[in-house]
């Protein structure tokens, strides 16, 4: 398959997932968190088994759909929504912990996947992941959620007290005391000003990681050298997430958010300007800083803007847009490369997008009173 064909399959499965997310994501507001988590983890195990049976293009599209729905879509949704909902004064640190988990996966899983595929092939590798999810991830998740019913009841009592007091009493919470419903958010012009910026990291990082080996070929770097530096990226995500969480707890996510895209724009600019192998190190550092900033700030942003009671429905809408843009990114770069542009030239179009999205975020956040 060409870059565009494989990107198209990936995009088709991802768009199907994005279309369903507003429905499946909203259920986290209506179903207990342990039961919802159980459903999501079982779906991930099913998705990993399903793709091992792919022998046609149609089956492959459906396999990508199931993986994107259960993995990047709903598992991310569970993690970030839970942290944003149940933590208040320490929301920044809680969301930073989730970002650290993402970084650990990005550091470990590519290397583990390469080793597993080289040893037993991609089908058996996915089957092994399905087994691992069932015997390790599932029981661990349910064990960590023990006693959640009591925590949820405390959360409901505190939320009702804040809602009854508003707007008469000022609380220390950074979350909006008034909880917006999803239909009201869709009528808010500020939401549309924020969307290009808050979804930009997913668009760009997915596209870059999807095409990193093409970048290595163009630059004359080995594939092992390219993937080996993912550890540096993940390390920077972890460090930045920890610092960002503290900044959010001190200042607010709305203050931090406008700075999140600038390191990524700088990283892509470096890739365009320099061909020497050493550029991969500052590139990974800047990409990691941008990802750590954005992943942590995004998760804390929505409660500050729109409250927590209907956070699942609002964040499922956000994740729909994130999944859509993550599908668009690989096709965007793949199309330009197939049209004859050098990869390092193609990424400059994303730099322009990042800068424009930053301006729109600044306008939108200013309307929230930042």
Q: From first to last of its 370 residues, what are the pLDDT tens digits of the chain?
A: 676 677 778 878 888 888 898 899 889 888 999 999 999 999 999 999 999 998 888 899 999 999 989 988 899 889 888 888 888 778 888 888 888 888 788 778 878 888 899 899 999 999 999 999 999 999 999 999 998 888 888 878 777 776 666 554 444 455 666 778 888 888 899 999 999 999 899 899 888 888 888 888 888 888 878 878 888 888 898 899 889 988 988 888 889 999 999 999 999 999 888 888 899 999 999 999 999 899 888 878 888 888 877 888 887 888 788 777 877 888 888 888 888 888 888 899 999 999 999 999 999 988 776 5
Candidates 324, 298, 317, 321; CA nearest to 24 is: 317
What is the model's pLDDT at position 46? Answer: 96
d(CA 176, CA 173): 8
The answer for residues whose C-beta is within 8 angstroms of residue 307's C-beta and 6 or more apart is 175, 176, 177, 178, 179, 180
pLDDT of amino acid 172: 45
Please give the structure tokens belonging to residue 299. Answer: 């998760």
Tell me which residue range forms the domain holding 142: 3-367
Domain holding 218: CATH number? 1.20.1250.20
Task: Quickly count helices (H) and strands (E) in the chain.
Answer: 19, 0
Q: Which of 230, 57, 41 is nearest to 129 (CA)?
A: 41
Number of residues that this document lists for the chain: 370
Helix (H) or strand (E) holding 268: helix 262-273
The predicted pLDDT at position 93 comes to 85
Answer for the pair 306, 186: CB distance below 8 angstroms, yes or no: no
- Number of other residues whose CB lies within 10 A of the CB of residue 107: 18
Neighbours of 101 (CB within 10 A): 15
Cα atoms in the 13 Å half-sphere on the side-chain side of 17: 34
| Distance of alpha carbon 81 from alpha carbon 233, whole angstroms | 25
Place of tokens 């396999």: 63
What pLDDT is stored for residue 175 in this prediction? 65
Report d(CA 106, CA 188) in Å as an integer.
34
Is 219 within 8 Å of 283 (Cβ atoms)? no
Q: Report which DSSP code applies to 220.
A: T
Distances from the Cα of 361 to the Cαs of 30, 44, 171, 195, 264, in angstroms?
A: 31, 34, 26, 8, 15
Nearest by Cα to 288 from 362, 344, 228, 238: 238
Cβ 14 vs Cβ 327: under 8 Å: yes
| Residue 213: closest CA among 224, 203, 202 | 224
Distance spanning both ends of the chain, measured CA to CA: 47
Query: Are 182 and 306 contacting, i.e. CB atoms less than 8 angstroms apart?
Result: no
- How many structural domains does the chain have? 1
263 contacts 293 by C-beta, under 8 angstroms: yes
> Which residues, 6+ apart, have CB-to-CB distance to 361 below 8 Å?
193, 194, 196, 197, 198, 257, 258, 261
- Reading phi first (left if > 0) and then psi (alpha if -120 to 50, else beta), residue 252 is in left
The pTM of the full predicted model, rounded to 2 decimals, is: 0.75
């Amino acid at each position: 398959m060409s870059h565009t064909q494989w990107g198209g399959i990936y995009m088709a499965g991802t768009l199907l997932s994005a279309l369903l997310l507003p429905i499946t994501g909203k259920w986290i507001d209506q179903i207990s968190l342990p039961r919802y988590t159980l459903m999501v983890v079982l779906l991930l195990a099913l998705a990993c088994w399903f793709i091992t049976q792919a022998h046609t293009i149609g089956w492959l599209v459906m396999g990508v759909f199931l993986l994107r729905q259960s993995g990047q879509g709903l598992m991310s949704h569970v993690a970030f929504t839970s942290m944003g909902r149940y933590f208040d004064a320490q929301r920044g640190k809680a969301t930073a912990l989730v970002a650290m988990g993402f970084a650990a996966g990005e550091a470990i899983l590519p290397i583990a996947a390469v080793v597993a595929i080289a040893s037993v092939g991609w089908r058996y590798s996915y089957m092994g992941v399905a087994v691992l999810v069932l015997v390790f991830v599932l029981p661990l998740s349910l064990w960590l959620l023990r006693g959640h019913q009591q925590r949820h009841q405390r959360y409901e009592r505190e939320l009702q007290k804040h809602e009854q007091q508003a707007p008469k009493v000022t609380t220390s919470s950074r979350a909006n005391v008034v909880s917006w419903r999803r239909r009201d958010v869709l009528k808010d012009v500020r939401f549309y000003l924020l969307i290009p910026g808050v979804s930009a990291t997913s668009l760009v990082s997915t596209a870059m990681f999807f095409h990193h080996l093409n970048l290595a070929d163009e630059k004359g770097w080995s594939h092992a050298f390219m993937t080996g530096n993912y550890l540096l990226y993940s390390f920077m995500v972890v460090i930045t997430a920890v610092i960002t969480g503290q900044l959010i707890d001190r200042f607010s996510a709305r203050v931090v958010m406008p700075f999140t895209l600038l390191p990524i724009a700088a990283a892509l600019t470096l890739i365009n300007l320099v061909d020497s192998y050493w550029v991969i190190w500052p590139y990974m550092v800047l990409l990691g800083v941008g990802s750590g900033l954005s992943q942590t700030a995004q998760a804390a942003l929505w409660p500050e803007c729109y409250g927590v009671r209907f956070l699942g429905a609002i964040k499922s809408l956000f994740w729909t847009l994130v999944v859509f843009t993550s599908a668009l990114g690989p096709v965007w770069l793949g199309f330009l490369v197939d049209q004859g542009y050098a990869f390092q030239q193609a990424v400059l179009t994303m730099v322009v997008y990042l800068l424009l999205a930053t301006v729109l975020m600044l306008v939108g956040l200013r309307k929230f009173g930042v």
